Each structure stands twice: as structure tokens, then as C-alpha cells.
Structure 1
Amino acid sequence: MTDASLLARIDRLESLDAIRQLPAKYSLALDMRDGDAWVNLFPEDVRVGGGKSGRKALRDWFDETHSMQFDGTSHHIGGHIIDFDDPDHAQGVVYSKNEHECGAEWVLMQMMYFDQYERIDGRWYFRRRLPLYWYASDINKSPVGDRKMRWPGVPPYHGSFHDLFPSWKTYWARNGQPHDGPVEPAAPLEKFIETMRRGAPLPKPRVRS
């Protein structure tokens, strides 16, 4: 093994560790309502929406959103898959199960994030987080049925949890019949998420953290 290849492998391991910490830092900063710590997980030129950009605009959104909608939150991070596009760019999927105190209701949520990461000046950031929701419902109400996103005072809606991966619809379209095609080859290294997406477009976000 050459010195260059060894250094590249060490760099990859250090990058994996740094990226894996991002969702945990995101959750802690969000739950503790530390807007400065939260926005500094994103680059200085982060896009906020509505033509706005920058950490100050993102912090304004953070303060307004979480003071109006939630009395308290707790985010529990699950499995985290990371694929590298190149040494300074990566993408990931991370599960999150969240609890929200919303006035008289205690809303449980199951979701995942599709993330894009970027290393800038030696530090890894979220370039983008796309939330994909399965359900949100008061702890005393089952979320079974359609439109599982059920927030107090908001009409139920679809949360796009399965929309990034076409296999969900393909599986149910077979109506329980076995797959009659050959087993596809394993995903190439660093292409697991891309292979599962099969070219599916990104769903339009509807943000509830």
C-alpha cells in the first residue's frame, strides 16, 4: 500500500466519522433550541427558500418555526447510510424518530432524511437535508390509513416517505406475486443509495423537523 492510498483511506474514515456526527449534532442543537449551533452545521451560503440564503436567514426561520409549532422536541437518530461522490461530496440516508409537544397533543413522527454533504475548508457540512415523512400522529391516535401526516390544526397529508425509492410501488404492484426476473447485481461501492433510487427525482419538500 502506498503512502497516498493509506492517507486516502484515513481521510475517508475521518470523513465518515465527521458526517455521522452531523445528524446527532443537528438533533441536539434543534432540541436544545440553539439556533447558532444548528445553522453552523450548514455552509455560509445555505439556501433557505423564498429567495433567501445565509445562516442568519436560516436562524430566523428556525426561531419562528420552533417557537410557533412546538413546545419541545426530541429527535432519535437511527441507521445512517453514507455514499461518497468524491472526497469532498457525499450523500446519505438517515432514519429519525421524533417526539413533539404541540400544546395539548404529543405527536410521534417516523421519518428519514436524504442528505447531501460537502466539505469546505476541511470541515463537513449539510449542503441540503430533504425530510421524507412516513407518519406523524398524536400518541393516543393510530396513524393507519392514507395521509399519515396528522398535525394539530393541519389537514392530513402525504409525507413522501417511500417516494425516493421506486421499489416500494414496484413491490406492491406485483400483488404478492414473486419477482420473476433475475436478481440484480449488488450496488457498486459508494452507489448503494443511487442504485436504490433508480433515477427517481427528489420529492418536493414539506418541512417539519
Structure 2
Amino acid sequence: MNALEARIDRLESLDAIRQLAAKYSLALDMRDMDAMVNLFEENVRVGKDARGRQALRAYMDGTLRSPFTGTSHHIGGHIIEFDDPDHAHGICYSKNEHETGDEWVIMQMMYADNYVRMDGRWYFARRLPLYWYATDLNKPPVGDNKMRWPGTEWVEGNFHKLFPSFAEFWEREGDHGGPVAEPAPLEKFIETMRRGQAAPKVKVRAD
């Protein structure tokens, strides 16, 4: 592949990966479970012990039945970086709404994604949901425990835990006074921001 072909391939790959996120939201909200799981690689890991699209479909089918009546997922910023021509990772913001009986739960979150191209098509290899808050529309999510699903205990989300800068910012009283860091290398913006931080454990909800 020459330089021009590689650049065109990269542009086509970027668009295909962005389409994955949009297709995921539509398939999830319309409850088309087959369309949704076919966005993932065939051997996708589901929980600790299961793998495959059928296992993912069974898990999501159960998850989306209770307590949810309907959902709407609104995609925000989407950062995509490539490890090689067939593997990439990204961060995708999502603002979501959920009808849950007599409550309307709003949510802010992001996905930490891994993508893989197989047989010329891009798929999700993994979607790790990182939540900031979830609460009824009439109950502002103030305080530490911002995840407030109807009928459950309020718990802390994990929205900031992939990136150590948030905790460091609040641990100091002002600007640290040191030199400004060098810009992140190309395709290393997310990795640079994570600075080796391990992914937090996540109890997945519908999203």
C-alpha cells in the first residue's frame, strides 16, 4: 500500500468506526439485538466466562427488558486512534435517556472502545462503559454517588477513573508550576492521558 492509498484507507476506516458508534445507538434504542451484536467481533468476550455474539445477545436482551421501557443514546465527541491499520481504540461520549416505569433517568457517560478490522469490516472488539451520573430527571446528581437507578442503592460512577488527571487536579491547590508537557505523539493522545492507568472494573447497565 503506497502513501496515498494508506491515507485513503485511514479516512475510510475513521468513518467506518464512527458509523459503528452510531449504528450501536440505533440498534440498541430500537431493540434490534441481532443488528447490535453483529457490530462486535464474532468471538467477543461477554462477562468472565462467555464469548460470542449469541452470548452477548442473550445478556443484552435480559438487561434491556427491566427496568427499561425505552432508551435514547446521543453520541458526542469521538476520538479514534490507530494501533496499526487493522486495530484501533477510542473514547466516545454518550448522553442517554431512559424511560423506567414512572421515572425518567438521564445519564452522562463515555465508552472506552477497542476496534478491529476483520475481512475488510470494522467491529467493536470491546466497549467499556464509564459512567459519570444516572438519575431521575427531577433529581440533580450532586454528591459522590451519582448513579441513581430506580429501586437500587446510589453508587459512585467511574467516569473519571480511566484518567488520573482528574484526581490529581483536585488534590493540589493550584497550578503545579512545572513546565508544560510535550504534546502527545500522533495516535497516542488517549494513551498519554491515561499514563498507564488500568481500566476500572465496571458493572454494566443497559448502555
Q: TM-score, normalised by structure 1?
A: 0.97
2:126 alignment counterpart: 128
Partner of 1:11: 9
Structure 1 equivalent of residue 85 of structure 2: 87
SS at match of 2:66: helix
2:57 to 56, 59, 77: 59
Q: Does 1:203 align with 2:200?
A: yes
Shift >4 Å, 4+ stretches: none
Between the aligned partners of 2:3 and 2:202, the Cα distance in structure 1 is: 39
* Counterpart in the other structure of 2:157: 159
Q: Secondary structure at the match of 1:112?
A: strand
Provide the alpha-carbon RMSD of the alignment: 0.9
Match of 1:49 in 2: 47
* Distance apart, 1:50 and its partner CA: 4.1
Residue identity in the other structure for 2:120: G
Q: How many residues align?
A: 206
What does residue 188 of structure 2 align with? 191
Match of residue 144 from structure 1: 142
> In structure 2, what is the Cα distance between the partners aligned to 1:49 and 1:157?
21
Q: CA deviation at 1:146?
A: 1.0
Three-state SS of the structure 2 residue aligned to 1:20 is helix
Gap regions ≥5 residues in structure 2: none
1:82-126 CA deviation, whole Å, 9 max, x = no partner?
Answer: 010110100000100000001110000000000000001110000
Greater displacement, 50-59 / 198-207: 50-59
TM-score (norm 2): 0.98
SS of structure 2 residue aligned to 1:98: strand
Q: Give 1:159 shift.
A: 1.2
Deviates more, 1:43-52 or 1:112-121: 43-52
Amino acid corresponding to residue 201 of structure 1 in structure 2: A
Amino acid at match of 2:180: V
Percent identity, aligned pairs only, is 69
1:182 to 179, 182, 186: 179
